[in-house]
Amino acid sequence: MEKAIFAWSGGKDSTLALHRVLLEKKYDVVSLLTTMSLDYDRISMHGVRRELLEAQAETIGIPLKKVYVKTSPSNVEYEKKMSQTMLKFKSQGVNICIFGDIFLEDLRVWREEKLSQIGFTAHFPIWKIDTLKLAKEFFDLNYKAKIAVVDTKAINQSFSGREFDQSFVDDLPKTADPCGENGEFHSFVYSGPIFKKQLEIKTGEQIMRENRFYYTDLLFK
């Protein structure tokens, strides 16, 4: 199998993409790669605590590499940090990076262009799959996730902290993507087929940041 690293956010799309990759047995995923906020020591954008991410990676059974950047990094800073990290993996015989993106064309093009500059190829296991079908697949596989943050410009703050389940999808406004692919919400997966055991988590404090993003702190029980 070809060696690959997996761009891991801890959320449902990453999980479904990794699920497929592990079933296909085409790639040897040598590491999960997660971008972290240097200011908060949490997953970038998702706002999930480092200890939850580490527990998640441990129960999946794949090593985790964390890359720290400022909360709102410049493109130069982000690309420099990521290139340095990717080149270290390249020296170990890795030249493929896997993503859980679904339909954002400009993001895919940007990823492919940046990776090609350092000799990497991008792979997108769930690309262009209907997001309603992906959500149903997530539920049918018995994965479980909590919503860690919502963009209140897109959906109501009351969605933050909820379970990502069929009722959540049913309650979303028609303008929102069922998988939040446009940034409407981000999630944290705590149980499912690729997990050796379920992570016992609970919701904690809720807070609005940037007058837009409504975070729910996820904690161990």
Q: Residue ranges per domain, the chain? A: 2-123, 141-220
Query: How many residues comprise the chain?
Result: 221
Cα–Cα nearest to 61, from 202, 158, 197, 200: 197
- Is the pTM value of this prediction over 0.75? yes
Are the beta carbons of 70 and 35 closer than 8 angstroms? no
- Which amino acid is located at 81 in the chain? K
Q: What is the pLDDT of residue 75?
A: 80
pLDDT of residue 78: 87
pLDDT for the residue numbered 77:
84
Judging by beta carbons within 10 Å of its beta carbon (0-12, 13-18, 19+), is residue 136 exposed, middle or buried? middle
b/e burial code for range 9-20 (CB count within 10 A of at least 16 → b): bbbbbbbbbbbb
What's the fold here for domain 2-123? Rossmann fold (3.40.50)
**pLDDT-flagged residues of the chain (< 70):** none
